Structure 1
């Protein structure tokens, strides 16, 4: 009871007069709770709306400013009581948050002169932090324990802790070196394609340095930096075979306990593994892997939708259009679809429309509306980078099917303008070659025999042109070779 009596005393002395949290379940809500519910339900999205709904006034009214301030403070207080048991979260987040909470509580108790309870909390926090290898939290715990032991004159514990703390400080210095390398690289990789190109040689050296630091320390923090940048390097250089080797090696290291499972996000390893299968054109293996991995992703998260994109594209590239239709339908029926970004929804709209061209089955039409899909396809622009070419090709195929030659002639001009502006880079060869095939179609007045005959040399060059690295490639929702076969079939049927 001694510890409880001490805690009651501290809470009684330091407790706030006003309740510092929102009382969301109260039968008599106040203005703060009212504003909270208005924001949560989407009824209040601007300062003007907030002022009008709460006080029938304008945003410069002192009352609405004070109300927003009180709500903000209470919402920040709620951050101390968030639920991190959700299985969709990284397991490391649970360890980190629990350790930080215990550390905060211990520091507060020490400030109140309570050393016994604080030492117990610090040892619990330390055990969690060490298990998940959060070096900085470990250092903070040992530093507070050092302070605690000095005040309680515990010499043995003091000097033992001091020695251990020195080792972790040395490790932290190496981890900081790794962090500086990692975040500098991430900054450079977020720049333009030209800037990324210039940084590639430096990136290779950074990855080598991180690998050496990881080998030296066996640190989970440094491994995370090394792993992510090595994947980025292979992506940017189009070396997807190496990604497959890396992900397979990671699985082995995890099984052997060489990588801390409390820190490593195994889901990303599975995600990038499936993506790599897509890029190396091992579609069957990729589909098998995707089918076995999909259950580890929570269906309500962005990660699930991102994973399903690769799964869907694998089916499309493998020519398994019935399977692709089922995957597309599964995505459309997911109640969380409306929560993903506008850009992601536009990509799925494109996927669905491409799927219609190759698989206009009754089952698929029940799942979606073709005209609605065509109507939702966005025009190409700077904010659609990554699938501008896919949009242009889709529109072109639509007018080929309807034999609208006027629209096709207009589209040819669009293709030429886009190619002149955006496809001059050496790694845009596949796009250029396919555009030339489309131009050829119009020149030959959609004549099947002539298009097939005169397109053979371009098709041969296309087949021998590899897909570029991810930093430069626009999306091929279907391989261009398959699209050309589909277009020729449309002409022949007509």
Structure 2
């Protein structure tokens, strides 16, 4: 009761006169609550909207400026009361927020001179931070406890804490070095394709140092940097078999207790494993793994939709089109589909277009809708390593089946122009060879035997050309080898 009595006194003395939070259930709602609710409902998109609805004034009216300022302050206050127990969040976020809350409370009480209550909270924060290996929070807790023990003349605890603090400050120095290596690499990987390729040798050196630091410290923070950058490097080089080794090894280390369960992102490990199975063309293992881990992701998150993209592509590449239809129906039927990013929606549109082309079932799309989709697929002119190739290939296949020779002539010119500008590098060889196969089809006047004969050289080169690393790859929604077989079948059907 003594602790409660003191807390009541502090809250009474320091409590704000005006309510610091938004009252959403009050019938006599304040103006800032009205503004909050209107924004939440999507009724206000601009300052002009708010000014007209609330004050019938212009956006520069001082009343609106003051109202927005009050609402902003109250919304920031709500950040102290967010729910981080949500399973959709990364596992470490919940523990980090709990540590930060205890640290904030402990520091506030120290400022009020309540050292005994403060020490309890800081000790709880410290225990949790050590379990989750949040080194920066550990150091903050120890520094505050050191002050606390000095002011309360607790010599034994003071010197014991001082020694522990020295250990974590040394660890922090190693982690700061690792952090610098990691974020420098991340910066370079967000630059142009040329910059990414030039940075690869430096990335290898950074990885060697990160591995050395992790082996010396066994720090969860350093391991996370090493783990992500190692996957990034293998992805850039196209070494997806190595990624499978990394994810398998990480899972083993996790089970052996050598990786902190409160820090390791198991869901990312699952996601990248499925992606790696796709890229090494082990479709059966990938489909089985994806099916076994469907429940790892919350259906309302972007992570679930990203996971389902790889699941969809696995099914498409494996030729399991009925399964792909079920996956697409599951995704498009998800009520959160409308909320995902526009570029993600466009990818699903493209996937469904390819799927309908090879498997035109009534459950997927009506024929009339499909024709409209083909003619209205957007040109991603600014994304040269994105969907341009996939779009042009699909349009070409569609017009071959329709025997639209005039349109095919136009498309061939577009293909040649695009190839001349964007498919000259080694990482675009597969697309270049497939484009040449499409040109062969048109030059053969859609004749099956002639296309088969004249296309053999380019097809052999296509088969001998491995897929490039992810950073440099155009998307093959269905592998080019399979598309060539489909195209030849179409030519046979046309002759019949």
Q: Give me the TM-score of the superposition, normalised by structure 2.
A: 0.98
Give, in angstroms, the shift of residue 375 of structure 1.
Answer: 4.9
Give, in angstroms, the shift of residue 381 of structure 1.
Answer: 1.1
- 1:125 aligns with 125
* Deviation larger for 429-438 or 56-65: 56-65
- 2:447 aligns with 447
Residues 385, 473 of structure 2: 8 Å contact kept: no
Residues 239, 469 of structure 1: 8 Å contact kept: yes
Give, in angstroms, the shift of residue 319 of structure 1.
Answer: 0.7
Give, in angstroms, the shift of residue 376 of structure 1.
Answer: 4.8
Give the Cα–Cα distance (whole angstroms) in 2 for the partners of residues 107 and 375 of structure 1: 62
Give the Cα–Cα distance (whole angstroms) in 2 for the partners of residues 443 and 150 of structure 1: 87
Give the Cα–Cα distance (whole angstroms) in 1 for the partners of residues 294 and 371 of structure 2: 30
Residues 352, 373 of structure 1: 8 Å contact kept: no
* Runs (5+) with no aligned partner, structure 1: none
Q: Name the CA shift for 1:324/1:186 in 2 (closer, same or farther; >3 Å).
A: same
Matches within 5 A, 1:67-466: 67-365=67-365, 369-383=369-383, 385-466=385-466
Q: Name the CA shift for 1:198/1:384 in 2 (closer, same or farther; >3 Å).
A: closer
Give the Cα–Cα distance (whole angstroms) in 1 for the partners of residues 305 and 182 of structure 2: 27
Give the Cα–Cα distance (whole angstroms) in 1 for the partners of residues 375 and 59 of structure 2: 38
- 2:484 aligns with 484
Q: Name the CA shift for 1:383/1:55 in 2 (closer, same or farther; >3 Å).
A: farther
Q: Deviations over 1:224-271 (max 9, x none)?
A: 000000000000000111001111111111110110010010010111
Q: Deviations over 1:135-182 (max 9, x none)?
A: 010000011000000010000100000000000000001000000000
Q: Deviations over 1:406-430 (max 9, x none)?
A: 1111111111111111111011110
SS in 1 for 2:364: helix
Give the Cα–Cα distance (whole angstroms) in 2 for the partners of residues 131 and 86 of structure 1: 20
Residues 182, 229 of structure 1: 8 Å contact kept: yes
- 1:36 aligns with 36
Give the Cα–Cα distance (whole angstroms) in 2 for the partners of residues 376 and 154 of structure 1: 75
Residues 385, 472 of structure 2: 8 Å contact kept: no
Give the Cα–Cα distance (whole angstroms) in 2 for the partners of residues 99 and 60 of structure 1: 41
Q: Name the CA shift for 1:23/1:368 in 2 (closer, same or farther; >3 Å).
A: farther
Give the Cα–Cα distance (whole angstroms) in 2 for the partners of residues 64 and 473 of structure 1: 49
Q: Deviations over 1:283-333 (max 9, x none)?
A: 111111111112101111000010111111011111111111111111110
Give, in angstroms, the shift of residue 383 of structure 1.
Answer: 4.2
Give the Cα–Cα distance (whole angstroms) in 1 for the partners of residues 288 and 101 of structure 2: 42
What do you get for the CA RMSD once the two structures are aligned?
Answer: 1.3
Give, in angstroms, the shift of residue 342 of structure 1.
Answer: 0.4
* Deviation larger for 355-364 or 190-199: 355-364
Query: Does 1:8 pair with 2:32?
Result: no
Give, in angstroms, the shift of residue 485 of structure 1.
Answer: 1.1
Give, in angstroms, the shift of residue 368 of structure 1.
Answer: 11
Residues 48, 58 of structure 1: 8 Å contact kept: yes
Give the Cα–Cα distance (whole angstroms) in 1 for the partners of residues 391 and 342 of structure 2: 16
Query: Does 1:48 pair with 2:48?
Result: yes
Give the Cα–Cα distance (whole angstroms) in 1 for the partners of residues 144 and 53 of structure 2: 49
Residues 139, 165 of structure 1: 8 Å contact kept: yes
Q: Give me the TM-score of the superposition, normalised by structure 1.
A: 0.98
* Deviation larger for 334-343 or 48-57: 48-57
Q: Deviations over 1:370-416 (max 9, x none)?
A: 24533552113114742111011111112112111111111111111
Give the Cα–Cα distance (whole angstroms) in 1 for the partners of residues 284 and 182 of structure 2: 35
Give the Cα–Cα distance (whole angstroms) in 2 for the partners of residues 380 and 124 of structure 1: 53
Q: Deviations over 1:183-217 (max 9, x none)?
A: 00100111111101110000001001000000000
Give the Cα–Cα distance (whole angstroms) in 1 for the partners of residues 303 and 386 of structure 2: 19
SS in 1 for 2:293: helix
Q: Deviations over 1:55-81 (max 9, x none)?
A: 122211111111111110000000000
Query: Does 1:467 pair with 2:467?
Result: yes
SS in 1 for 2:365: helix
Give, in angstroms, the shift of residue 364 of structure 1.
Answer: 2.5
Q: Deviations over 1:457-480 (max 9, x none)?
A: 211111111111111101000000
* Runs (5+) with no aligned partner, structure 2: none
Give the Cα–Cα distance (whole angstroms) in 1 for the partners of residues 284 and 367 of structure 2: 25
Q: Name the CA shift for 1:38/1:371 in 2 (closer, same or farther; >3 Å).
A: farther
SS in 1 for 2:412: helix
SS in 2 for 1:260: coil
Q: Deviations over 1:17-43 (max 9, x none)?
A: 000000011111121111111211222
SS in 2 for 1:365: coil
Give the Cα–Cα distance (whole angstroms) in 2 for the partners of residues 172 and 485 of structure 1: 57
